[in-house]
Structure 1
Amino acid sequence: MINSQKRICLYFGSFNPLHRAHLCLAQFALDSLPCDEVWLVLSPLNPLKDRATQLPFAWRAYYIRQAIRNEPRLRLVTLEEQLPLPHYTVRSIRALRLLHPEYDFSLLIGSDNLRLIDRWYDYQRLLKTIPLHVYPRPGYPMEDILPTALPGATIYLHPEAPQMDLAATDLREAALSGEDLSGETAVPELWEELRTQLLSLQS
């Protein structure tokens, strides 16, 4: 029997801010992976990152909406803002499945995250319940990232996915220093607004 469920690839991130590499990966997923849509799941706060450099959630959401407004197959998901702390990927996926039982979900992650997947909360349940599509990240070659024991996991490696050594940190630092890297952002016309938001974090 053919699976008629719409296929959704989930792409989690703090997107602080969303940039060109994020969009390239999302487009790669749309063009090359078995998915009909990519949902950008915006995280309110990454516990591993500095709160002082975190742009406001509402502004990051606004920025993403501007970036994807002409691509109907990309969707912003702000669910985690309503979920109780702490935010764990496995819990967020469970909530999405409860809200959207008609969809078939997969998860897009970097090779750096797969290498450290055993540090994720309840990672074994996560791996048993959702397929992973893995894209390369600098310093984490695809042939050397699989942990030794991932029982029940369905993992697809995509070494052909675009690999860009571009980080949101670089864009934030450039904006604050006066360097123009607007061409690397997801919404170049909002470069000055991004800079204003970052400066407000320092006040």
Structure 2
Amino acid sequence: MKIGLYFGSFNPIHIGHLVIANHLQQFSDLDQVWFVVSPQNPFKEKASLANDYDRLHLVNLAIENYPHLMASNIEFNLPIPSYTIDTLVVLKEKHPEHDFSLIMGMDNLKSFHKWKNHEQILKNYSVYVYPRIGSEPGQWENHEKFHFIDAPIMEISSTFIRQALKEKKNIQPMLPDEVWEYLDGSSMYK
């Protein structure tokens, strides 16, 4: 089975994440997309992160009606910060029957050369890239391992969502219904 790995903090997951994941699963050769919930991205601060299991729960709520989207907590038991290459090695050991690929926004391409063992990633894995406003493929444009997907451009950020929740704004249309209902009745992000 061909699995696309969509890494992120999903802090919280929003409709932009769902649209991208569903589009990639439906309009590429990926059989499934797994949301890999990261305890800590090496390039981000941990201070604003909600609890790992709360974020995982929100992802599970968001995808319960999408049979080809899955949630993974594989990084919860790995050293922090999480490095993609380490997660890929563990996933391949646990699931040798799957063919894993990465999913990333085009904005991540400009720093991809700084990723730990990025050459090894490109040697062993394909990368599905979705567009972001103001981002270009750059040096990776003609690389055989990169697949540039014409997915919808979603300019919603989790940072914006968290700030709006603190300010008691109605952002219900930006969140999957199940996530909105959960957050509306909780103190998370308030």
TM-score by length of 1: 0.87
Q: Which has the larger radius of gyration?
A: 1
Q: 1:60-99 counterparts in 2 under 5 A?
A: 60-99=55-94
Aligned mate of 1:131, from 108, 126, 134: 126
Q: Is 1:145 aligned to 2:138, yes or no?
A: yes
**What RMSD, in angstroms, separates the aligned Cα atoms of the two structures?**
1.7
Match of residue 146 from structure 2:
155
Equivalences, count: 188
TM-score by length of 2: 0.92
Match of residue 180 from structure 2:
188
Q: Which amino acid aligns with 2:49?
A: Q
Alpha-carbon shift at residue 148 of structure 1 (Å): 8.6
Q: Distance in 2 between matches of 1:169 and 1:193?
A: 20
Alpha-carbon shift at residue 147 of structure 1 (Å): 4.4
Match of residue 188 from structure 2:
197
Gapped regions of structure 2 (runs ≥ 5):
none
Percent identity of equivalent pairs: 34
Match of residue 48 from structure 1:
43
Q: Distance in 2 between matches of 1:42 and 1:148?
A: 28
Aligned mate of 1:121, from 116, 121, 136: 116
Alpha-carbon shift at residue 149 of structure 1 (Å): 9.8
Residues 15, 175 of structure 2: 8 Å contact kept: yes
Residues 15, 60 of structure 1: 8 Å contact kept: yes
Q: Which amino acid aligns with 2:170?
A: D
The SS at the match of 1:47 is coil
